[in-house]
């Protein structure tokens, strides 16, 4: 079993509002079930967390599909739209609020080890690297899309699909009108004969 309680407790220790938010849930257990791994946390009377026994029933279970984890990490504010929740809705709402608002201040922690200036520069460097990787990823997606749309057409633009569908519908309507005209002409010829 993985223990993330010390890391979360480190964040909670710096934010009294977060511990106060957890206090009404003292003694309750939250289970985060990501299919391949399960994390069970018990809220203590001081608003901090500890590992819960695997056999103890959870008050709330948050089920995450492993395929959704990258989306959750990219869009923390929408994280709970990717999960399924079983159990205490109020406890789940508290966890959702904490997941959106609780932040790690890396600069403060690093400054104790390497000093203020070095910590700021290190965090800025990491942020720049993350931004660069995100931009490179976006550019790669755009280049691949352009390649598969224009140079080696394996994909079709949505506008072209809509235009094709509209053309098919128009042709179908035209054929139906033509068939009705032909039937009308045939009836008129039978009446004349």
In the numeric block, the tokens 């990258």 are attached to 70
pLDDT digits (tens, 9 = 90+) for 17-51: 989 999 999 999 999 888 888 889 999 999 899 88
Q: Does residue 27 come out as left (phi exceeding 0), alpha (psi in the -120 to 50 range) or beta? A: left
Is the pLDDT reported for residue 11 higher than 60? yes
Question: Is residue 96 classed exposed, middle or buried when 0-12, 13-18 and 19+ CB atoms within 10 A define those classes?
Answer: middle
Query: 5-101: what CATH class?
Result: alpha beta
What gap in Å lies between CA 95 and CA 81, rounded to an integer? 13
pLDDT digits (tens, 9 = 90+) for 152-173: 777 777 888 889 889 999 999 9
Mean pLDDT, rounded, for 76-83: 74
Alpha carbon 164 to its chain's center: 33
For the whole prediction, is pTM greater than 0.75? no
Alpha carbon 62 to its chain's center: 14
Domain boundaries, the chain: 5-101, 106-155, 157-193
- The DSSP bridge partners found for residue 32 are 39, 62
% of the chain with per-residue pLDDT over 90: 19
Q: Which of 27, 25, 22, 87 is nearest to 53 (CA)?
A: 27
Element (DSSP H or E) covering residue 184: helix 158-192
């Amino acid at each position: 079993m993985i223990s993330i309680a010390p890391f979360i407790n480190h964040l909670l220790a710096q934010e009294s509002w977060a511990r106060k938010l957890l206090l009404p849930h003292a003694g309750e257990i939250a289970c985060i079930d990501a299919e391949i791994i399960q994390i069970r946390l018990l809220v203590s009377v001081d608003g901090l967390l500890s590992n819960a026994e695997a056999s103890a029933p959870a008050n709330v279970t948050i089920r995450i599909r492993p395929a959704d984890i990258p989306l959750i990490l990219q869009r923390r504010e929408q994280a709970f739209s990717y999960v399924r929740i079983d159990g205490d809705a109020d406890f789940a709402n508290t966890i959702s609020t904490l997941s959106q608002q609780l932040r790690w201040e890396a600069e403060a922690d690093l400054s104790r080890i390497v000093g203020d200036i070095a910590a700021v520069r290190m965090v800025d460097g990491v942020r720049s690297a993350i931004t660069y990787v995100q931009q490179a990823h976006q550019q790669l997606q755009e280049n691949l899309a352009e390649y598969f749309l224009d140079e080696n057409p394996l994909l079709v633009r949505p506008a072209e699909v809509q235009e094709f569908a509209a053309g098919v519908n128009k042709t179908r309507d035209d054929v139906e009108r033509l068939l009705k005209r032909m039937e009308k002409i045939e009836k008129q010829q039978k009446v004349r004969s």
